[in-house]
Amino acid sequence: MENKSHAFAAGLFVLAVTALVIALAVWLTRDRGQYQSYELSSRDGVSGLQPQAAVRYKGVAVGRVTHIGFDSQASGNVLIRIAVNVDTPITPTTFAVLGYQGVTGLAYVQLDDDNEPHPALEPGESGLPRLPLRTSPFSQLFDQGPVILGRVQEATERINQALSDDNQRLLREALQNFGQAAGSVQALSQRLDATVRLRLDPALDALAPLAQETAGTLQALRQAGAQVGGMAAEIGQTAQRINAPGGALEQSERSARALSQAVERFGTVTLPRMERAADETARAARLTGRAAAGLSENPQGLIYGPGRGLPGPGEPGFLAPQATGAQP
DSSP secondary structure string, 6-43? Answer: HHHHHHHHHHHHHHHHHHHHHHHT-----EEEEEEEES
In a domain, 234, yes or no: no
User: Tell me, what's the pLDDT at 328?
Assistant: 40
In a domain, 46, yes or no: yes
Each residue of 56-86: pLDDT tens digit?
Answer: 998 888 989 999 988 888 888 889 899 998 8
In a domain, 103, yes or no: yes
Each residue of 204-226: pLDDT tens digit?
Answer: 666 677 777 778 788 888 888 88
In a domain, 60, yes or no: yes
Q: Pairing mode, if any, of strands 60-70 and 54-57?
A: antiparallel
Number of folded domains that form the chain = 1
In a domain, 87, yes or no: yes
In a domain, 169, yes or no: no
Distance CA 191, CA 292 (A): 111
In a domain, 48, yes or no: yes
In a domain, 102, yes or no: yes
Each residue of 75-126: pLDDT tens digit?
Answer: 888 898 999 988 888 888 888 888 888 767 788 898 988 877 777 777 777 7
User: Tell me, what's the pLDDT at 10?
Assistant: 80
Host domain of residue 54: 29-134
pTM above 0.75, yes or no: no
